[in-house]
Chains A and B, each alone.
Chain A
């Protein structure tokens, strides 16, 4: 066991030296760091997320039909056909192929997640930095607004925004943007709160003060010193938010604010259409889009939760035996800095 622990330590320190070396999430380190059950959960999550991403990217190759295809050369598909060799998962009440709709739906989900998360990060981080750094009345107003919106039922808020944006939107890009903006409105307060809290803390750090003494301007301090340190926790929130985005998208679709079936395939919309099928015992139209949602959200949540737990020394499962406290401390340096606000470690990375 001791031999396992040592390379774990070295990975942590080497990645410390090249923090930008990993593309996006530094997931590999966490996989190495985790043990037993925690590793199982993380790897399961990664596999599910990977399958989701691949399905979304390769949808045209994987899907037997188009998402809006109603007939093939031999004639129309027919509505509510049970699973068969031609339609592996049957057809919907509208006469679409369920399997194709499920596969194409992953692409819609991915597009919405990417758009929503990108927009909310840009807005939330910017507002959080400004709010936390400058303080004053602007800060108070922003925080009160963010708190009010944060406490509000997110789905209702998304619906209200959806109404505004959904004025006859039926195109793919329009529908996806409408859904993404609805979700962004929910997320911005969350990012704002997190980044603001971090900014307020970092602002009081010695290295920021040093930079100020040297004569660095607000912009430079914000972009160089505060920004890079305040955004360290974001990857954790990001994975959890991605799953929330899918649930919100599905919820919107289920309530009739989704994307038209001819423009794209959306799981929530398909579930809404299958609502009446259930009473007559038709299970295939609802089960598969629903399972798709559950598996994707499960995968993303497992990844997010595991990363979160690994970042928190109190929740992290430690290797049994052979692990000296020094090893544990060594492996916990980077994630702990992300999770525990009192950690002084960021000073090292501030470039001073």
Chain B
């Protein structure tokens, strides 16, 4: 009975600390510095757990070489190659090696095309980054003003239309949105290119550039050729819309709900009673605080965006990590797949950290 009582009293503080678990041990009233430190240290267990999970899952079925070449090579040669690559050693040794490799930035060599996984990640990562940034721009430009509008016209017909639009954004798989956009704007109307990141001519011109960033728009601007720039942008429109609308729906709903709830708070009521106009209330008082949660939600959106990027890239043959992931999956190249998935884990952990830091800087209540 004594143990349960201590549990009970201990449980009293638990709900507050429930969200970020390891921060629980910190006493209240800590400064920004200690909060950031704890938050930073939390990145490592997160990445560690994800890397371990991925490693264990991928290796449950056996070694990568059998997965990729099994059935195609004679058994003796297969065994020789497994031995050569070191996959016959105890799994814990391999795990340790992989873990140390990951932390020094070495992800091994892809089995199907023999490329260094790290080099593959950086070159295709640039393409995915470019797409993600475009998509985020679309999401901001579409989601935030519309969410504000919906909150302003709450429970009237535009609100209903916008809410259904937001749900439709979520309900439409990105690849289907992509297919429809392609069908209408690329095939039927012929306004925009069907697929790819640039037309062949532009690609060749971009290849001539020294020390390319891999982000086509930046490269095109450095090239200084107007035609190449517009070509690159034209190719980006449909993928960016397909992927961006997915997140736009989330932003719309979030801004709407937050603006509605801030419109009901005491300080807005106070301003209203002082005779501040509704329009000004929305613009000056209710809107800005409602944007803070967006910052935190972006952290979770990155995960959605990365998942969506895989599908968008496949739909539009956008040669980024997602497109490459599917290629490697078809080749059953587990080393490369593992590299991409681990990179995604690292990105998610880092973005969430940055987002938490920004949230703490904006809103002092977050630090504790």
A155 touching B167 by the CB < 8 A rule? Answer: no
Q: A135-B10, A160-B57, A286-B183 are in contact. Are A145 and B168 (CB under 8 A)?
A: no
Q: Which of chain A's residues have a CB closer than 8 A to the CB of B188?
A: 281
A151 touching B49 by the CB < 8 A rule? Answer: no
B179 touching A148 by the CB < 8 A rule? Answer: no
Q: Which of chain A's residues have a CB closer than 8 A to the CB of B311?
A: 155, 251, 254-255
B135 to chain A, nearest CB (A): 14
Segment of B92-100, B210-218, B229-237, B337-345 engaged in the interface with chain A:
B337-345
**Per DSSP, are chain B's interface residues mostly helix, strand or loop, or mixed?**
helix
Q: Determine which residue in B46, B175, B186 has the highest number of CB atoms from chain A within 10 A of its CB, and name it.
A: B175
B178 to chain A, nearest CB (A): 9
A135 touching B167 by the CB < 8 A rule? Answer: no
A148 to chain B, nearest CB (A): 4
Q: Which of chain B's residues have a CB closer than 8 A to the CB of A149?
A: 49-50, 53
B307 within 8 A of partner (CB): yes
A247 within 8 A of partner (CB): yes
**How many of B's residues come within 8 Å of A, CB to CB?**
73
B15 touching A156 by the CB < 8 A rule? Answer: no
Q: B320-364 vs A: 1/0 string, CB under 8 Å?
A: 000001100110101001000100110011001000000000000
A122 within 8 A of partner (CB): no
Q: Which of chain B's residues have a CB closer than 8 A to the CB of A50?
A: none
A209 CA to B348 CA, complexed, in Å: 41
A204 touching B12 by the CB < 8 A rule? Answer: yes
Q: A149-160 vs B: 1/0 string, CB under 8 Å?
A: 101111110011
B129 to chain A, nearest CB (A): 15
Segment of A57-65, A109-117, A291-299, A331-339 engaged in the interface with chain B:
A291-299
Q: Determine which residue in A140, A160, A281, A294 has the highest number of CB atoms from chain B within 10 A of its CB, and name it.
A: A160
**A residues at B contact (CB < 8 Å):** 36-37, 40-41, 134-135, 140, 143-145, 147-149, 151-156, 159-161, 163-164, 167, 196-197, 200-201, 203-204, 209, 212, 243, 247, 250-251, 254-257, 268, 271, 274-275, 278-281, 283, 286-287, 290, 293-294, 297-298, 301-302, 305, 314-315, 317, 341
A-B contacts, 30 listed (Cβ < 8 Å): A37-B155, A147-B21, A151-B46, A151-B303, A151-B348, A152-B50, A152-B345, A153-B306, A154-B303, A155-B308, A156-B310, A156-B341, A163-B329, A196-B18, A200-B15, A201-B15, A212-B4, A251-B173, A251-B175, A254-B173, A255-B311, A255-B326, A256-B329, A271-B176, A274-B179, A279-B186, A281-B187, A293-B172, A314-B260, A341-B15
